[in-house]
Chain A
């Protein structure tokens, strides 16, 4: 099928996409790396002397960096736990025969389509607000002291909100994977006397392993960049209690106008994301051969 002419035509057709993506990736990346070695603050225009590793040194030794790394790991880890375990549960449940399947699935999946700023604000104000929120109301009417979620448990509150948004994603993918499981295999195991526990552990879970890995990796890529949810709920506070790496870089570059420092942080974020990306790419690449 591929003659010489069609091959050169193919190259012509693919080149706009390749050039655009190459430009989109390389130009800003080189600029970030370049800026990270300059003493460059937008509030002091004109002078951008070479700074060596200074920006990296100050960024990494700043106490808020340590907090940001801890918070990023806690957020990613916490949300992954909730969504993966919850997603497996929901997928197993939704896979069972029931009435009104369509309606129930839609209700479970719906949060995924809600934009981050809306879900964060709705949870913060209508549910978690200690005075007017539903949780506060519920606590008061049961005779408990209402909890000020964002004051007392800011990190857990954000983990909760973001988990609500990503649980449908995990459920949807795990459900799709579960539906490709051979039912006869399960029935054969049942006839041989395998209980639900061993059927889940030895048949369903191995079948889901691949999908679970994909869910974890893709979510990690997105969760490393949580931003809007923090911006509209806590602004990274109280103190640095909910500042993740993304938010810390946003603060130093766009609020403190320190281009050099923000860029150094950016380079660190890129390295961290790449560690995850390598594993994800390997998974997807394997599937491409099949």
Chain B
């Protein structure tokens, strides 16, 4: 921009965007406030809640005591982190070979992998449910980890592929000229250059797996239920206990909000399969 922007224009823009942004953010802010109120205060009029009531952390304790919150929290962690790293294990070699040893089929293979993502989950709900039942995988963390790994595998491969693609092949050739073996090449040249890309891939996939709410609800009951399914159990009548619902909700979304803010820049690439950069 060659032109100077007047401070007045900047202030106006800030005011408009700030107000609209704040409106979008209100629901999250509101549960953050209600989580620290008593049940009696939480259902009062909004202004009374803001200015006429005290603060307490009781709700967090109650949520844990009544429904073993940390079991579901750890289920969420195990399932989302587990599925991401399992996926990474399978995706790294695949993305590596497609990026550095492309063949005439590479494009088709990539597109086909993406197409598996287009399959609506409800279209295969019945068979997956029956297979899970027969293999005793219903309501297990292992079963859910496998399913989430499979539904996110195309995204992991795609993201890694676009990041690996950006590493110039000449560097690898130079290393090979200097006598590096394939193993050296991967460990000393490729890995350090690929780490930022891998980190954002991991972050995005943990977010996606953490918030996945179709398979987690349909394939789990009391034991393996992650937070998505646990919160769904608040739909009635416990949903009317606003303070408890808020406390449970804020704990469920806080880790992902923080991770999401860190990965904002990489998000677009991952979510559009490189179609928008």
Does B38 reach chain A (CB closer than 8 Å)?
no
Name the B residues within 8 Å of A116 (CB-CB): 211, 213, 228
Contact indicator B94/A16 (Cβ below 8 Å): yes
Name the B residues within 8 Å of A218 (CB-CB): 271-272
The segment from B7-15, B52-60, B192-200 that touches chain A is: B7-15
Chain A: minimal CB distance from B43 (Å): 5
Interfacial residues of chain A within 231-262, with CB under 8 A of chain B in the complex: 231-233, 245-246, 249-250, 253-254, 259, 262
Interfacial residues of chain B within 148-173, with CB under 8 A of chain A in the complex: 150, 153-154, 157, 169, 172-173
Contact indicator B257/A113 (Cβ below 8 Å): yes
Q: How far is the CA of A114 from the CA of B261 in the complex (A)?
A: 12
Contact indicator B27/A119 (Cβ below 8 Å): yes
Does A172 reach chain B (CB closer than 8 Å)?
yes
Name the B residues within 8 Å of A11 (CB-CB): 97
A121/B103 contact (C-beta < 8 A), A98-B14, A273-B119 known: no
Contact indicator A263/B14 (Cβ below 8 Å): no
Contact indicator A104/B14 (Cβ below 8 Å): yes
Q: How far is the CA of A137 from the CA of B25 in the complex (A)?
A: 19
Does A61 reach chain B (CB closer than 8 Å)?
no
Q: How far is the CA of A17 from the CA of B270 in the complex (A)?
A: 18
A266/B126 contact (C-beta < 8 A), A122-B31, A125-B242, A231-B232 known: yes
Interfacial residues of chain A within 249-285, with CB under 8 A of chain B in the complex: 249-250, 253-254, 259, 262-263, 265-267, 269-270, 272-274, 276-277, 280-281, 283-285
Q: How far is the CA of A232 from the CA of B111 in the complex (A)?
A: 35
Name the B residues within 8 Å of A125 (CB-CB): 239-240, 242, 245
Q: How far is the CA of A2 from the CA of B173 in the complex (A)?
A: 11
Does B115 reach chain A (CB closer than 8 Å)?
yes
Contact indicator A126/B242 (Cβ below 8 Å): yes
A1/B9 contact (C-beta < 8 A), A17-B94, A106-B261, A259-B130 known: no
Partner of A173, one of B18, B118, B210, B276: B276
Number of B residues contacting the other chain (C-beta, 8 Å)?
104
Does B227 reach chain A (CB closer than 8 Å)?
yes
Name the B residues within 8 Å of A283 (CB-CB): 275
Q: How far is the CA of A121 from the CA of B266 in the complex (A)?
A: 29
Interface string of B1-30 (1 = CB under 8 A from A): 111010001110110111011101101101
Name the A residues within 8 Å of B61 (CB-CB): none
Q: How far is the CA of A191 from the CA of B256 in the complex (A)?
A: 46
Name the A residues within 8 Å of B128 (CB-CB): 28
Contact indicator B127/A28 (Cβ below 8 Å): yes
Name the A residues within 8 Å of B221 (CB-CB): none
Contact indicator A110/B120 (Cβ below 8 Å): no
Interface string of B105-133 (1 = CB under 8 A from A): 00101110111111111111111111100
Interface string of A105-127 (1 = CB under 8 A from B): 11111111111111101111111
Q: How far is the CA of A169 from the CA of B109 in the complex (A)?
A: 27
Does B235 reach chain A (CB closer than 8 Å)?
yes
Contact indicator B245/A100 (Cβ below 8 Å): no
The segment from A77-85, A151-159, A197-205, A221-229 that touches chain B is: A221-229
Does B174 reach chain A (CB closer than 8 Å)?
no
Which chain A residue lies CB-closest to B89?
A16
Does A73 reach chain B (CB closer than 8 Å)?
no
Partner of A266, one of B125, B218, B274: B125
Q: Which of A18, A21, A94, A108 has the most CB of B within 10 A?
A: A21
Chain A: minimal CB distance from B89 (Å): 9
Interface string of B82-116 (1 = CB under 8 A from A): 00000000110110111011110001011101111
Q: How far is the CA of A1 from the CA of B266 in the complex (A)?
A: 30
Contact indicator B97/A228 (Cβ below 8 Å): no
Contact indicator B120/A114 (Cβ below 8 Å): no
Does B34 reach chain A (CB closer than 8 Å)?
yes
A20/B253 contact (C-beta < 8 A), A98-B10, A214-B272, A214-B276 known: no
Contact indicator B127/A31 (Cβ below 8 Å): yes
Contact indicator B242/A270 (Cβ below 8 Å): no
Contact indicator B274/A250 (Cβ below 8 Å): no
Contact indicator B11/A21 (Cβ below 8 Å): no
The contact sample of 26 A-B pairs, CB cut-off 8 A, is A2-B101, A9-B101, A13-B94, A17-B94, A20-B150, A24-B150, A31-B130, A104-B21, A105-B21, A107-B22, A108-B25, A112-B260, A115-B213, A115-B256, A117-B213, A122-B245, A127-B30, A137-B46, A173-B268, A176-B276, A176-B277, A232-B231, A250-B122, A266-B123, A284-B111, A287-B274
Since A1-B173, A17-B113, A269-B120 are in contact, a sample of 9 more A-B pairs with Cβ atoms closer than 8 Å, ordered by chain A residue number, is A9-B101, A32-B124, A32-B126, A90-B20, A98-B13, A104-B18, A111-B27, A117-B228, A246-B120
Nearest 10 CB-CB pairs, A to B?
A: A31-B127, A13-B93, A10-B97, A228-B213, A277-B118, A28-B124, A17-B94, A10-B101, A107-B25, A107-B21
